[in-house]
Amino acid sequence: MIDSLLDAIWPRRCAVCGRPADRPGRHVCSECLMRIPFIPAKGCCAVCGRDVEGQSEEFLCEDCIGPNAPRFDRAASAVRFEGVAREMLLGYKFNSRLYLRADFADWIEGAVRARLDTAAIDVVLPMPLTTFHRMDRGYNQSGYLADELGRRFERKVRNDVLKRVGRPSRQAELHEDERRENVKGTIAVVNAQYVCGRTVLVVDDVMTTGSTLSECAKVLKEAGAGRVWCATLARSLHT
Ligand SMILES: [Zn+2]
Ligand SMILES: [Zn+2]
């Protein structure tokens, strides 16, 4: 009702092609939706969820074997961080194009349903922003995605478990080894009683090497969490 009322006042345009949007309350038209680089649900790494072309069975990628394997148990990402999806996400993160939220929430929900047993999730945790980013943008996009997933799966979302500690880190320019070092000790768990023995879903916007999510999983497990699963809107594949 509200959607159609708003549409009558301000007609929605597709965020990709600019033509009238044809799906209720959404800002990507059905034609452009076909151009979004969704990650397939099959043929992905059993742990980090990276997909490899031509694969149809689940496998373990080289990043998920050995001493540097991520500490989370399983991750789901909706889209590859490239092309129109990348532009949309950067607009969302840095230009406050918040109207894209419903589209993004649909995508991450689809990825989680395809890869994870949603009935087994006990609690949803957003990735906390660094203080620096909070001041910079004043908006936690992971928090919004976590709230939407919590609402759609009817699970409690807790903002009072994961906390940033130590220095704010700029991960973007760092190599994989440096990123792993850089995130060590920068996330802490408070209120461990909410995660102890539970299956936890940590939500973030983009996964690159997965080192920040892995650090979250490490501290959550040290605090007694059972399984740690991760959901991100996008996956940026490093080479
Ligand atoms: Zn379009
Ligand atoms: Zn993997």
Residues 89 and 31 in one domain: no
pLDDT of 56 reads 86
Q: Report CA(96)–ligand 2 centroid distance (Å).
A: 31
Domain count, the chain: 2
Q: Report CA(238)–ligand 2 centroid distance (Å).
A: 12
Q: Rounded to whole angstroms, how far apart are CA atoms 53 and 70? A: 22
Q: Report CA(125)–ligand 2 centroid distance (Å).
A: 22
- Residue 26 phi/psi, 5-degree rounding, is -115, 155
Q: What is the mean pLDDT of residues 55-63?
A: 91
Residues 137 and 109 in one domain: yes
Residues 13 and 95 in one domain: no
Residue 134 has pLDDT above 90, yes or no: no
Q: Are 73 and 228 in contact (CB under 8 A)?
A: yes
Q: Report CA(49)–ligand 2 centroid distance (Å).
A: 6
pLDDT of 184 reads 85
- Residue 166 phi/psi, 5-degree rounding, is 75, -160
Q: Counting ligands in written order, which one lies closest to the CA of residue 16?
A: 1
pLDDT, one tens digit per residue, over 14-43 is 988 999 999 988 999 999 999 999 999 889
Residues 129 and 90 in one domain: yes
- Is the model's pTM score more than 0.85? yes
Q: Are 140 and 134 in contact (CB under 8 A)?
A: yes
Residues 141 and 170 in one domain: yes
Q: Are 207 and 233 in contact (CB under 8 A)?
A: no
pLDDT, one tens digit per residue, over 140-155 is 778 999 999 999 999 9
Residues 11 and 65 in one domain: no
- β-pair partners for 125: 202
Cα dihedral: 229, 103, 162, 225 (round 10): -20
Q: Report CA(40)–ligand 1 centroid distance (Å).
A: 21
- Find the domain containing 149 and state its range: 38-235
Q: Counting ligands in written order, which one lies closest to the CA of residue 21?
A: 1
Residue 135 has pLDDT above 90, yes or no: no
